[in-house]
Structure 1
């Protein structure tokens, strides 16, 4: 008999196995709540369609990206992951032309599940390390980003 924590880990593992590795965006509808909220260092977004757009954009910008999970812990309705992300910037990303540079960063994520679906997701990548490895000055990037009042 499986526990709720084990069931939640299986659901979250589907993100990596089916969506990220296999590119199955249809699985997003099965894994995520319709009104899921995603928190990232670059801002928040919500909904399954926004998640699909995120994965499509990432796949175009980093066609060879991979993740290695080091820790995968669940308690109740929360799953925590610590992983290493690697890839090559070979497509446009957030208005940045491809640099052809490789990156390797550490990322943590916490996912809250409700009724067997991911309802909220906090992603904390090493954004500064990522930008530095791509040769991007974070100050230049912030100048290119639209202000929230726009």
Structure 2
């Protein structure tokens, strides 16, 4: 069994997902930083295992070109890491039944990551879906 990691080590590990996997497109890094039975929770549903997580990330990369996830703040306590992340990109492919609009967007994303034995075992991802859909023109902004 691997040694327990420190909150600082957990912060470095959790940051690798938005910075390297999402922004740099290194989807195969999931095999290194995530447990085989990793669980992901997001507004579109639950993801189980590395392969499902890779498929999900690849579909997001197709939907949102020029995508970046910038970590703004990180807080860790024990085996849990909380991050505020800014997501930016261009709606370049189908997403949630919406054809590509070519629209650029920027939304806030809250991510909680649970680490065990030096790997990510669970993630909760909560992007501002309302803000995203408003920016893509799918939902009207208040006052329009």
| TM-score band, normalised by shorter chain | 0.7 to 0.9
Q: TM-score, normalised by structure 1?
A: 0.84
Match of residue 65, structure 1, among 23, 48, 67: 67
Spell out the pairing of 1:12-23 with structure 2 (5 A cutoff): 12-23=14-25
CA displacement, residues 112-149 of structure 1 (integer Å, 9 cap, x when unaligned)? 111111111111111111111111149xxxxxxxxxxx
SS in 2 for 1:65: strand
Structure 1: tracts of 5 or more residues without a match: 139-150
Match of residue 97, structure 1, among 96, 99, 110: 99
Quick check: which one's strand share is greater? 2
Q: How many residues get paired?
A: 136
Which structure carries more relative contact order (alpha carbon 8 Å, separation 6+)?
2
Q: Please tell me whether residue 45 in structure 1 is matched to residue 24 in structure 2.
A: no
Structure 2: tracts of 5 or more residues without a match: none
Q: TM-score, normalised by structure 2?
A: 0.87
1:107 offset after TM fit, Å? 0.9
2:73 and 2:56 map into 1 onto residues whose CA distance is 24
**Following superposition, which runs of at least 4 residues in structure 1 exceed 2 angstroms of deviation?**
none
1:106 offset after TM fit, Å? 0.8
1:16 offset after TM fit, Å? 2.5
| Stretch of structure 1 that moved more, 79-88 or 7-16 | 7-16
Provide the alpha-carbon RMSD of the alignment. Answer: 1.6
SS in 2 for 1:59: helix
Match of residue 78, structure 1, among 77, 80, 86: 80
